[in-house]
Chains A and B, each alone.
Chain A
Amino acid sequence: MADVRTDPIHQFGIHKLVDINIDGYDVSFTNSSLFMVLVLAAIALVLLWGSSSRAVVPGRAQTVAELSYEFVANTLRTTAGESGMRFMPLVFSLFMFVLTANLFGMVPYFFTVTSHIIVTAALALLVIFTVTIYGFYKNGTHFLKLFVPSGVPAAIVPLVTMIEIISFLSRPLSLSVRLFANMLAGHITLKVFAGFVVTLTGLGAFGFLGALLPLIMVVALTALEFLVAFLQAYVFTILTCMYLNDALHPGH
């Protein structure tokens, strides 16, 4: 009998809040949908509030809005150049969504939207499709130069091209699995150690003492998970920027 309090998988469960069925597809409003909407609301609240005062000397909310903007803008500009700035809305939306969803996941009882592979895969595919479509639209067949690096001896060009193609195709996989696996594993680890605390404290005085160790572990892991939450959002963003750079300047 799995106890809900100690079951590390339970937190990822999706349950329907409002049953919706469109054309045979089950698109019910679930707890996942609820948290997606909450993430959107939180981002909108902070950024709209922060950018509405337009003060020359920013207040707190405005500093948050400006810092996020400049952080993403600098990342995008240094990775993809000035012409990459046209993708600012996409990259900024991705960063804010992933970061906020990751941080929301750190709140107890909150659902982590990015702990589901379908969500991260959808975001990764959005990036890859944007890169591929824009790459062909902007550069035509020149975009294929991406797979044939310049300055490679003719003899190994086929091999290198093969590797480049495989690397390109594995991008959406690595992009989505990295984020998903980090969130999933982090939350499972947290819950497992937290479960130890719950189980051990149920065993009397000795267990109470024994529970101290996993408790310390949980505290440390929580700090680590906050770092991971930010880091994975950043990694997702900078990889997006690098892939967009390929679309903008293939053949580098």
Chain B
Amino acid sequence: MSWFISQANAQEPAIVPAEDGHAPVDAVGTTVAHEGGGHGGAFPPFDPSTFPSQLFWLAIVFIALYVLMAKKVIPQIAGILEARAAKIAGDLVEAEKAKADTDAAIASYEASLAAARNKANAIAHETRSKVAHEIDGRRHAAEAQLAAKLTDTEKHIEDVKRIALEHVSTIATETTEAVVEALVGKVSRDEAIAAVAAVSASKH
């Protein structure tokens, strides 16, 4: 390896002296280096003899790299990232839509549940009031019937009472007749009636 460097150094003085005031030092240095075996020569990074080659190859490599990046790699990677971002955004939109659908379904379910409940309430209420109405009607009818029966019965009692009262004096007369007859003998009917009437009058 040092053999290569010595060879490069050997070419050195041809270029360096033209450069600047360091030339003599460099020339001495290279000579020493040449004899010393490759150490102390032009520091490789500052060796201008390698510059054209480095620049030439750097240009080729960097232009190739630039073209490759600009035409192929960057569009590809950007495409991947864009596709992924689009996919994520699309999926989010889809998820949002699914969520909205679910919400709507829940809302409609709740609405129909509420409607059914209202309807049931209405039916129950209607039935209840109908039944109550019917019961009321029947009760009224029964009450009216009872009242009529009561009136009839009262009238009947009145009648019976009146007829009985009508018969009271007759019975009393007959009883008086019978009692008097048993006690004192036969009396006329007219006398018995008069006596009963007199007793009733004094009692009243």
Contact = CB atoms under 8 A, between A and B. Distances in A.
A10 interface: yes
A235 interface: no
A2 B74 contact: no
Contact of B36 (A1, A44, A62, A70): A1
B5 A15 contact: yes
Contact of A12 (B45, B57, B59, B84): B45
A180 B51 CA distance: 15
A43 to B, nearest CB: 6
B57 A29 contact: yes
A5 to B, nearest CB: 10
Contacts of A247: none
Nearest to A95: B69
A40 B52 CA distance: 19
Contacts of A9: 39, 43-44
| A interface, over-half SS | helix
Contact of A51 (B39, B65, B70, B80): B80
A117 B45 CA distance: 6
Interface residues of B, number: 45
Interface in A20-63: 20, 22, 25-30, 32-33, 36-37, 39-40, 43-44, 47-48, 50-52, 54-56, 58, 62
Contact of B61 (A36, A55, A69): A36
Nearest to A47: B73
Nearest to B49: A26
Given A26-B52, A27-B56, A56 B4 contact: no
Interface residues of A, number: 59
A47 B59 CA distance: 20
B50 interface: yes
B66 A37 contact: no
A15 B49 CA distance: 11
B65 A93 contact: yes
Contacts of B2: 2, 4, 7, 10
B78 interface: yes
B79 A90 contact: no
A96 B79 contact: no
A69 B58 CA distance: 22
B24 interface: no
Contacts of A25: 52, 56
A199 B87 CA distance: 61
A58 B87 CA distance: 14
Interface in B28-42: 36-39
Interface string B76-87: 111111011001
Interface of B: 1-2, 4-5, 8, 36-39, 43-47, 49-59, 61-62, 64-66, 68-70, 72-74, 76-81, 83-84, 87
Given A2-B37, A184-B45, 15 more contacts: A14-B44, A27-B53, A29-B57, A30-B54, A33-B53, A33-B61, A36-B61, A48-B73, A65-B73, A69-B74, A88-B74, A92-B74, A117-B46, A118-B50, A118-B51
Interface of A: 1-2, 4, 7, 9-10, 12-16, 20, 22, 25-30, 32-33, 36-37, 39-40, 43-44, 47-48, 50-52, 54-56, 58, 62, 65-66, 69-70, 88-90, 92-93, 96-97, 113, 115-119, 122-123, 126, 180, 184
